[in-house]
Amino acid sequence: MRKLLLVWIPVALLALFAVLLGRTLLVAPPAPAAPAAASEADTFDGEVIARRLAEALRFRTISWQEGAAPADVDASQKALVAFRDWITTTYPAFSAQASREIVNDYSLLFTWKGSDPVLAPYLLMSHMDVVPIAPGSEPDWTHPPFAGDIADGYVWGRGTIDTKAGIIGQLEAAEALIRAGFRPKRTVMFAFGHDEETGGQGNARIAALLAERGVRLEFVDDEGGVIVTGTVPGIEGPVAVVGVAEKGYLTVQLRAHSPGGHSSLPLPIAETAIGRLAQALEKLARAPFEGRIDGVSREFLQQLMPYMSFGQRLAIANLWLLEPAVLKSMSASPASAAILRTSIAPTMVQGGVKENVLPPSATLTINLRVHPRDTTESVLAHIRKAVGDPQVDIGAVGVRREASAVSDMQGPQFALIRRTLERVKPGVIVAPNLLSAATDARHYEALTRNVFRMVPAELTADELKGFHGTNERVPVSSLVLIARYYRELIRGADGEL
């Protein structure tokens, strides 16, 4: 018997190896798409688009948090009105063709009517508002955030990538197409929100308005995806990460109770309020949310696999056997871990007012980003079970939002986004992504299964820090790319979908 086993183990291993290898070798890179014709590429002038974006940046359309000074709020509202007038005068052909509705006083909905009313319209989105400059960070800006400076191949300023570049790209594309005599068969809508950074009531209202009118959308394309290079481990070339879903948002407060008392005669540490919180946190650290390679993360890896090293391909082509190893390696980095599971971040602790008094209570605040496979309710239940201490009260506080639906990654609408990206950026790898941040696109879930997030600015890791950060800027070359993307998308959407 023992002898028989010794013969069979190598044979079985060999067979297993053959299966692993076979599955790996089946993976071949797809043929590259035909690029947009060279003559078409030259119809957009980066300098001109840069100058228009620079003008757009000078409107200080800042979204202030609740409780901001009335003068600041008033200035932002005036800027939004001036900006929408600027759109009318700067893009006259578009303004003549598309009807404009002002929703919730400041958000804009444009409808560029197609010739075929049978075809469902689609919606291009971008928001007009920008986040404030972090107080004290002004001197760190190489160029003032609202000056609209163009230098060193960039347009600098708050709102460049988040996301006036998207608005300008869409308007440039439509204006150029109209001037060239193009009339769409399929109706194109544009929604420019005025308060995305503070919850997006403008787009919530536009979505409700469209629903009231019985509109079904073919697809939506909003911000929330860019082209990155060198940030995906093992991949050298550019990767366009298209957002197909966004995580939910939940803040949980844990309040531990204890008799308190004088610190000279303390309770055992584990029975003090602070000790109870420490134990709760320790238990949570040992009970992370379940991570799996499924849905978006599986599709993300599938798309990148052909371009990976042999070792990576071997692992991903054989997830049936090697998923635990892939999970472990992806969990090591916060960026790739985020796509796998609900994240837990302890962000605030409070307890005690004096060094020699045991506090009767102490609180710990945890911020969680909820994976689409979880709900805020199941997340709360998981935390309660993991902590399991009747002396610790656990409850949700503040903003609470479920994860979005996951858009269809196999349909013709995603294929159109993919094809368009491959046309305007030959050699780009297109992969779906799960966003940890929120966008206004989520408001349109009820109107279509095809909510995508992509404004194809090509950004390095350093340039990505500009989102809500210092020295926000966009390469002028990306402005041409973005305009070409929307132009090709509008043309492509008139084909079979």
Mention every residue, 6+ apart, whose C-beta is less than 8 A from residue 281.
346, 364
Q: In what order do the strands lie in the sheet with 343-351?
A: 343-351, 361-370, 248-257, 392-401
- Name which of 226 and 387 has its Cβ closer to Zn ion: 226
- Binding segment for Zn ion (CB under 5 A), chosen from 101-109, 156-164, 233-241, 371-379, is 156-164
Nearer Cβ to Zn ion, position 107 or 163? 163
* 123, 124, 129, 130 alpha-carbon torsion, rounded to 10°: 140
> In this complex, which beta carbon is closest to Zn ion, that of residue 432 or of residue 466?
466
The residue number whose beta carbon is nearest to Zn ion equals: 162
Q: How far is the CB of 51 from Zn ion (least distance, A)?
A: 23
Binding-residue total with Zn ion (CB under 5 A) = 2
Please pick, among 129, 162, 175, 223, the residue that the annotation labels catalytic.
Answer: 129
271/392 Cα distance (integer angstroms): 11
Q: Does 162 bind Zn ion (CB under 5 A)?
A: yes
**Closer to Zn ion by Cβ: residue 127 or 418:** 127
Q: Which is nearer to Zn ion, 339 or 455 (CB)?
A: 455
Nearest distance from C-beta of residue 466 to Zn ion, angstroms:
12
| Shortest distance, position 196 Cβ to Zn ion, whole Å | 5
Minimum CB distance to Zn ion, residue 433 (Å): 15
Tokens of 209: 């308005």
- Is-cis flag, bond preceding 448, omega within 30? no
The nearest distance, CB 159 to Zn ion, in angstroms, is 9
Taking each helix axis from N to C end, the angle separating 319-331 and 295-304, rounded to the nearest 10 degrees, works out to 100
Q: How far apart are CA 304 and CA 286, in angstroms?
A: 31
The residue (of 120 and 464) whose beta carbon lies closer to Zn ion is 464
* Binding pattern for the stretch 340-369 against Zn ion, x by CB under 5 A and - elsewhere: ------------------------------
Angstrom distance (rounded) from CA 255 to CA 391: 8
Window 163-202: contact mask with Zn ion (x via CB under 5 A): x---------------------------------------
Q: With CB under 5 A as the contact rule, which of the stretches 4-12, 161-169, 285-293, 342-350 interacts with Zn ion? A: 161-169
CB atoms within 10 A of CB 450: 23
Angle separating helix axes 165-179 and 70-90, nearest 10 degrees? 20
- Applying CB under 5 A, the span of 43-51, 157-165, 270-278, 422-430 interacting with Zn ion comes to 157-165
Q: Near Zn ion by CB under 5 A, which window of 39-47, 159-167, 303-311, 428-436?
A: 159-167
When the beta carbons of 224 and 295 are compared against Zn ion, the nearer one is 224
Q: By the 8 A CB rule, do 352 and 359 touch?
A: yes
Contact stretch for Zn ion (CB under 5 A) within 104-112, 162-170, 273-281, 309-317: 162-170
- What is the closest distance, in whole angstroms, from the C-beta atom of residue 223 to Zn ion in the complex? 5
Nearer of residues 337 and 437 to Zn ion, judged by Cβ: 437
Per CB under 5 A, 440 contacts Zn ion: no
Smallest gap from Cβ 452 to Zn ion, in A, equals: 15
Rounded least distance, CB 163 to Zn ion, Å: 5
Q: State in angstroms the smallest separation of the CB of 221 from Zn ion.
A: 14
- Annotation marks residue 129 as catalytic: yes
CB closer to Zn ion out of 95 and 163: 163
Residue type, 92: P
85 assigned to active site = no
Which of 175, 195, 196, 246 is the catalytic position?
196
Residue 158 or 313: the one with the smaller Cβ distance to Zn ion is: 158
Count of alpha carbons within 13 angstroms of residue 221, beta-carbon side: 30
Q: How far is the CB of 155 from Zn ion (least distance, A)?
A: 16
Report the catalytic residues.
129, 196
User: In the complex, which residues of this chain contact Zn ion (CB under 5 A)?
Assistant: 162-163
